[in-house]
Structure 1
Amino acid sequence: MPVLLDLRGAKSSDVEIGTSPISELQACLHSLAEPDHHLEYRSWLMKTDESLSPDLRHRLTQFAPLWARRRCRLLLPLSGPLDASVDTEIERISQLSEREFVEAAAYSIHGGAFDPRQAVSRPDEFVAACEARSFSRGEAARLLIRDPEEFRTALVRTLADCVEEFFAAEWERLHDRLRDEAEQTRSRLRGLPLAELISSVSMAAQPVQGGRAVRFDKLQNLTVSLRGNRTLLVPTIHGRPHLVIRGEEGFPVVVHYPVAWHSRPESIDEMQRRLTILSDPARLALCRHLVNEAITTSDLARRMSMTRPQVSRHLAKLRAAGVLTSQRSGRYVYHRVDVDTLMRIGVELLRAIVR
């Protein structure tokens, strides 16, 4: 179930690359609502959560359906140009028509397969559908339908309070890194065909159909035409490992892509290969011996009641998976499991799954 960007008729001049503070704020709010998806930011998440005022924490819980599962279109760039201030981007929410606001909010509040126009045409059915999904979604849906302008005012105030309590400082810390990433992507645009440029922002993307489309490996079944549409490429740090692609009618297409880690994220195929190696019962048993102390091949063979060649073949597999270190001391070579690498496999698996 891929996301396909149809490039037929699209022009490079319609692609804008830049930063969006409101998008990064939404990424922060998502990670606060779903901390288990963002293990590398655990320290920042705990510190930020503890610093929130009780009133803001309560309101973030109320509004969490907007960003917990499906990122809200309201909190991505609603128009160009990019590199605007967070205050300008928040103000754009206030400038939407009531219908545009309700439909954009309803789509994320429901969080499933749903035509957001029904929130306006059949509001009772929309509320019931949200209640069936969860209590919090039902509560948010009721508040939205009962008084859309009150809901909007409360949301805008909550976003402004987030900026004041924690995001202004975080954006100051991240802005230069995101700006540099956007500038690097702009430089690639000058030398690459459009399909290669767009696919270059993510390991999950590749040009297809002879460069007439870009395919993203996502758990969505979505095709978005870029013909006549403005397309915004927006880098994120707090959003990683998630790649967010939105193409609602009436708004620019947005590709909110994670800035690369210092090391290249592993693909699903690479992760599956490593897990297959580690799942072998004999190799798991070897790891149990090697995790506590460094051991020679001969000693492992004796402990495991195996021949030296058998042990050597298993050790070679563990080395190929990147979890074995070997060090010579005199006549002997001692092997040991690299615990840090083994722990990182869990984080890499999570990145690959939730991307």
Structure 2
Amino acid sequence: MSITIDVTGLPPERITFAPSPLAELGAMLHALSEPAHHPGLHSWATATTAALKPVLADRLTEADFMWRSARSDLLAPPRPGATLAEDLDWIDSLDNRRFVKAAFEISCNSSYESTVSPLDDADERAKVLELAAARGPRQAQFTERMLDDPDGLRIWLRRLFEDCEQAFFGDTWQRIRVQLAADARHKTELLQRKGLAETVSAVSEAIRLEEYGTGGQRLVLDKLSTGTTSATAEGGLTFLPSAFGWPHLFAGHAPGWQPVILYPVATPELPRPEALELVQARLEALAHPMRMRLTRMLARSSHSTGELATAFGITAPEVSRHLAVLKKAGLITTRRRGRYVLHQLDLQTVARLGSDFLETVLR
């Protein structure tokens, strides 16, 4: 599964790298509501949660469906402002249909690709209310309020975000905005010097530029969802760097909206994410009982093919076939000693397999 963004003929000047205060606030709110997704932010999340006034914490719970399990497109402005107020002005500029549709997408919508508004269609309204009710009475009440009074909820949401700025976001944003701006400048310069393929590779291993048809190009993002959009048709493509987003890679691709990609900024202590196909190949390689037995022996020391064949009572060609699968998945290393080739389990790669898997499904 993947999300594809058609970029055929898209000139570099219509590809934007810029930090967004609103997008980063959304990443922080997600980290507060799902701290298990972000073990590296444990200290920050604990301290911030403890310092929140009960009233603000209660209000955040009302609207957390917009950032908890999925990220609303309202939190990813295609033309980010320099301040949170400017980003909130963009939300205010949306008409009610776009505002409500974006607020309910994924968590309270039957289809992200749908263009039907619950403000206009009774069946869509009923679906939204049903999905909201499944998440508890609090979200059901909030959803009814938004459907009945979208203007009032828009004002309520802006005040909520402004209160977050005063409570914790403002100080944190001042500390990280320089880093995000520097990353955006670096990616912009890389795009100008090296082109889009190398730039997206530097953004994330989960994104690749793919050729198709006659002269066609598209970005393919490893995600557990499927979707297609066009940056050419919708006015361009925006990349938003995030200090609080890791390990998530957010891609806004709703019909009629300019595509937006929110990506985690790489830091020395964070390894680059592995591609979805590689993680899957490693799990499948270890699923075979004989290969699992081989890895237990190779974890202790290096062995030749003949030694492994003797130890497990199978032929050398059988061992070679299993070792080829493990090597292709990057799970073993080989070295030559005289006329023998010795194989050994790559312990560092195996140790990261669990976190690689978690990062992939959370991406």
Q: TM-score, normalized by length of structure 1?
A: 0.77
In the TM superposition, residue 61 of structure 1 has moved relative to its aligned partner by 1.0
Work out whether residues 65 and 140 of structure 1, in 8 Å CA contact, stay in contact via their aligned partners in 2: no
2:117 paired with 1:118: yes
Which of 207, 212, 228 is residue 222 of structure 1 equivalent to? 228
2:230 paired with 1:231: no
Work out whether residues 2 and 226 of structure 2, in 8 Å CA contact, stay in contact via their aligned partners in 1: yes
In the TM superposition, residue 101 of structure 1 has moved relative to its aligned partner by 1.9
Q: Aligned partners of 1:194 and 1:323: how far apart in 2?
A: 33
What does residue 213 of structure 1 align with?
217
What does residue 328 of structure 1 align with?
none
* Alpha-carbon spacing, 1:269–1:74, altered in 2? closer, same or farther (3 Å): closer
In the TM superposition, residue 152 of structure 1 has moved relative to its aligned partner by 1.2
What does residue 177 of structure 2 align with?
175
In the TM superposition, residue 23 of structure 1 has moved relative to its aligned partner by 0.5
Which of 273, 289, 293 is residue 265 of structure 1 equivalent to? 273
What does residue 346 of structure 1 align with?
354
In the TM superposition, residue 295 of structure 1 has moved relative to its aligned partner by 9.6
What does residue 96 of structure 1 align with?
94
What does residue 245 of structure 1 align with?
251
2:66 paired with 1:66: yes
Stretch of structure 1 that moved more, 243-252 or 146-155: 243-252
- Secondary structure of 1:118's counterpart equals coil
In the TM superposition, residue 318 of structure 1 has moved relative to its aligned partner by 9.9
Letter in 1 for 2:156: A
Q: Aligned partners of 1:22 and 1:271: how far apart in 2?
A: 32
Q: Aligned partners of 1:56 and 1:116: how far apart in 2?
A: 33
Stretch of structure 1 that moved more, 92-101 or 26-35: 92-101
* Alpha-carbon spacing, 1:164–1:322, altered in 2? closer, same or farther (3 Å): farther
Work out whether residues 17 and 240 of structure 2, in 8 Å CA contact, stay in contact via their aligned partners in 1: yes
Stretch of structure 1 that moved more, 30-39 or 110-119: 110-119
* Alpha-carbon spacing, 1:200–1:74, altered in 2? closer, same or farther (3 Å): same
What does residue 330 of structure 1 align with?
none
> Residue by residue, what CA displacement relative to the aligned partner does 1:216-260 show, whole Å, maximum 9, x if unpaired?
232222232423613211111211222222234554321112223
Q: Aligned partners of 2:189 and 2:201: how far apart in 1?
A: 14
Calculate the aligned-residue CA RMSD, in Å.
Answer: 3.9
* Alpha-carbon spacing, 1:184–1:295, altered in 2? closer, same or farther (3 Å): closer
* Alpha-carbon spacing, 1:283–1:111, altered in 2? closer, same or farther (3 Å): same
Q: Aligned partners of 1:268 and 1:285: how far apart in 2?
A: 25
Q: Aligned partners of 1:167 and 1:103: how far apart in 2?
A: 26
Give structure 2 stretches of 5+ with no counterpart.
334-343
Q: Aligned partners of 2:160 and 2:115: how far apart in 1?
A: 23
Q: Aligned partners of 1:347 and 1:44: how far apart in 2?
A: 21
Q: Aligned partners of 2:259 and 2:280: how far apart in 1?
A: 32
- Secondary structure of 2:172's counterpart equals helix
What does residue 146 of structure 2 align with?
144
In the TM superposition, residue 133 of structure 1 has moved relative to its aligned partner by 4.2
* Alpha-carbon spacing, 1:132–1:83, altered in 2? closer, same or farther (3 Å): closer
Letter in 1 for 2:24: E
Q: Aligned partners of 1:351 and 1:269: how far apart in 2?
A: 13
Q: Aligned partners of 2:215 and 2:50: how far apart in 1?
A: 48
Query: What fraction of aligned residue pairs are identical, expressed as a percent?
Result: 29
Work out whether residues 7 and 226 of structure 1, in 8 Å CA contact, stay in contact via their aligned partners in 2: yes
> Residue by residue, what CA displacement relative to the aligned partner does 1:140-194 show, whole Å, maximum 9, x if unpaired?
3212012112211111111111111111122122212211211111111212344
Give structure 1 stretches of 5+ with no counterpart.
325-334
Work out whether residues 74 and 104 of structure 1, in 8 Å CA contact, stay in contact via their aligned partners in 2: yes
What does residue 331 of structure 1 align with?
none
Tell me how many residue pairs correspond in the alignment. Answer: 339
Q: Aligned partners of 1:61 and 1:36: how far apart in 2?
A: 17
Work out whether residues 70 and 111 of structure 1, in 8 Å CA contact, stay in contact via their aligned partners in 2: no
Equivalent positions of 1:330-341 (< 5 A) are none
- Secondary structure of 1:71's counterpart equals coil
- Secondary structure of 1:110's counterpart equals coil
Letter in 1 for 2:263: Y
